[in-house]
Structure 1
């Protein structure tokens, strides 16, 4: 995880995981969260698509993605 960005319990809804993509910018940190139902996240074939989506939201196709299962 990138320094300065922490997760709280409210970031993870019941029955979900939250994907967190971050990007360092000169003015600070940009981040994006994508909640995903656990049943969908369990399907290996869908995971990369979710990662691509959260990276697109943060504007960096190579941004690191953290899977937050609870905070």
Structure 2
């Protein structure tokens, strides 16, 4: 996880996991959360699509993604 961004229990709704992408932009740290239902996240074939979507939100295709609330 990028320094300066932490997670709390409120970042993860009941029955979901939350991929979090972080990126360093000229204006500072940018992050995005994408809550995903656990049933969808359990589909291995869908996970990379969720990771790509949250990376696009921060504008960094290679941004690290941390999954909060389970795997």
CA distance in 2, matches of 1:25, 1:59: 9
CA distance in 1, matches of 2:65, 2:13: 18
Partner of 1:51: 51
Partner of 2:10: 10
State TM-score, norm by structure 1. Answer: 0.93
Give structure 1 regions of 4+ aligned residues with deviation exceeding 6 angstroms: none
Q: Determine whether 1:25 maps to 2:25.
A: yes
CA distance in 1, matches of 2:26, 2:60: 14
Aligned residues: 70
State TM-score, norm by structure 2. Answer: 0.93
CA distance in 1, matches of 2:27, 2:54: 21
CA distance in 2, matches of 1:50, 1:27: 25
Partner of 1:41: 41
> What residue ranges of structure 2 are gaps of 5+ in the alignment?
none
Give the aligned CA root-mean-square deviation in angstroms: 1.1
